[in-house]
Structure 1
Amino acid sequence: MPLTSIDALVELRNLTFGYGERVILDNVCLSIPRGKVTALMGASGGGKTTILRLMGGQYRAQSGQLLFDGQDVTPMDQTQIYAARRRMGMLFQFGALFADLSVFDNVAFPLREHTNLPESLIRDIVLMKLNAVGLRGAHDLIPSDLSGGMARRIALARAIALDPELVMYDEPFSGLDPISLGTAARLIRQLNDSMGLTSVFVSHELEQTFVIADHVIILANGKIAMQGTPEQVRQSTDPLVYQYVNALSDGPVQFHYPGPSVAEDFGVEACV
Structure 2
Amino acid sequence: MSLPPEPSAPLVSLRDVRFAYGEREVLRGIDLSVHRGQVVAIMGGSGCGKTTLLRLIGGQLRASSGTVEVEGRNMASLSGGELYALRRRMGMLFQFGALFTDMSVFDNVAFPMREHTSLPAGMIRDLVMMKLQAVGLRGAATLSPGELSGGMARRVALARAVALDPMLILYDEPFAGLDPISLGIIGQLIRRLNDALGASSVMVTHDVHESLEIVDYIYFVSDGRIVARGTPDEIRASGDPFVHQFVNAEADGPVPFHYPAPPIDSLLGGRGV
2:224 matched residue in structure 1:
222
Aligned residues with identical type, % of pairs? 56
1:126 matched residue in structure 2:
128
* Structure 2 CA distance for partners of 1:22 and 1:268, relative to 1, 3 Å: farther
User: Which sits farther off after the overlay, 125-134 or 5-14?
Assistant: 5-14
* Structure 2 CA distance for partners of 1:78 and 1:123, relative to 1, 3 Å: same
* Structure 2 CA distance for partners of 1:21 and 1:145, relative to 1, 3 Å: same
> Which amino acid in structure 2 is aligned with residue 94 of structure 1?
F
Secondary structure at the residue paired with 1:108?
Answer: helix
Gaps of 5+ in 2: 1-5
> Which amino acid in structure 1 is aligned with residue 243 of structure 2?
V
> Which amino acid in structure 1 is aligned with residue 262 of structure 2?
S
- Residue 261 (1) aligns with residue 262 (2): yes
Secondary structure at the residue paired with 2:77?
Answer: coil
2:33 matched residue in structure 1:
31
Q: Distance in 2 between matches of 1:69 and 1:270?
A: 61
Residue 56 of structure 1, CA deviation: 0.7
> Which amino acid in structure 1 is aligned with residue 106 of structure 2?
F
Q: Distance in 1 between matches of 2:266 and 2:99?
A: 47
Q: Distance in 2 between matches of 1:133 and 1:76?
A: 34
> Which amino acid in structure 1 is aligned with residue 56 of structure 2?
L
Q: Distance in 2 between matches of 1:8 and 1:257?
A: 40
Residue 242 of structure 1, CA deviation: 1.4
Residue 81 of structure 1, CA deviation: 1.2
Secondary structure at the residue paired with 1:74?
Answer: helix
1:57 matched residue in structure 2:
59
**Superposition pairs for residues 107-122 of structure 1, below 5 Å?**
107-122=109-124
Q: Distance in 2 between matches of 1:213 and 1:13?
A: 22
Q: Distance in 1 between matches of 2:243 and 2:50?
A: 15
1:160 matched residue in structure 2:
162
Q: Distance in 2 between matches of 1:215 and 1:201?
A: 10
**Superposition pairs for residues 149-228 of structure 1, below 5 Å?**
149-228=151-230
**Superposition pairs for residues 239-250 of structure 1, below 5 Å?**
239-250=241-252
Residue 75 of structure 1, CA deviation: 2.6
* Contact 1:111–1:161 (8 Å) recurs in 2: yes
Residue 270 of structure 1, CA deviation: 4.9
User: Which sits farther off after the overlay, 173-182 or 74-83?
Assistant: 74-83
> Which amino acid in structure 1 is aligned with residue 241 of structure 2?
P
* Structure 2 CA distance for partners of 1:218 and 1:77, relative to 1, 3 Å: same
> Where has structure 1 moved over 2 Å in runs of 4 or more?
4-7, 255-258, 260-271
Q: Distance in 2 between matches of 1:80 and 1:257?
A: 46
> Which amino acid in structure 1 is aligned with residue 180 of structure 2?
P
* 1:72 aligned residue (68, 74, 95): 74
* Structure 2 CA distance for partners of 1:87 and 1:213, relative to 1, 3 Å: same
Residue 29 of structure 1, CA deviation: 0.8
Secondary structure at the residue paired with 2:68?
Answer: strand
Residue 264 of structure 1, CA deviation: 11
Deviations 1:63-100 (A, max 9, x none): 01100000011232221110110010000010000000
Q: Distance in 2 between matches of 1:250 and 1:150?
A: 36
Q: Distance in 1 between matches of 2:103 and 2:39?
A: 31
> Which amino acid in structure 1 is aligned with residue 216 of structure 2?
D
Q: Distance in 2 between matches of 1:5 and 1:13?
A: 18
Q: Distance in 2 between matches of 1:168 and 1:193?
A: 15
How many residue pairs align between the two structures?
Answer: 267
Q: Distance in 2 between matches of 1:263 and 1:161?
A: 57
Residue 265 of structure 1, CA deviation: 9.5
Secondary structure at the residue paired with 2:45?
Answer: coil
Q: Distance in 1 between matches of 2:188 and 2:264?
A: 52
Residue 5 of structure 1, CA deviation: 7.6
Q: Normalising by the residue count of structure 2, what TM-score does the alignment of the two structures yield?
A: 0.93
Q: Distance in 1 between matches of 2:226 and 2:49?
A: 10
Q: Distance in 1 between matches of 2:164 and 2:222?
A: 34
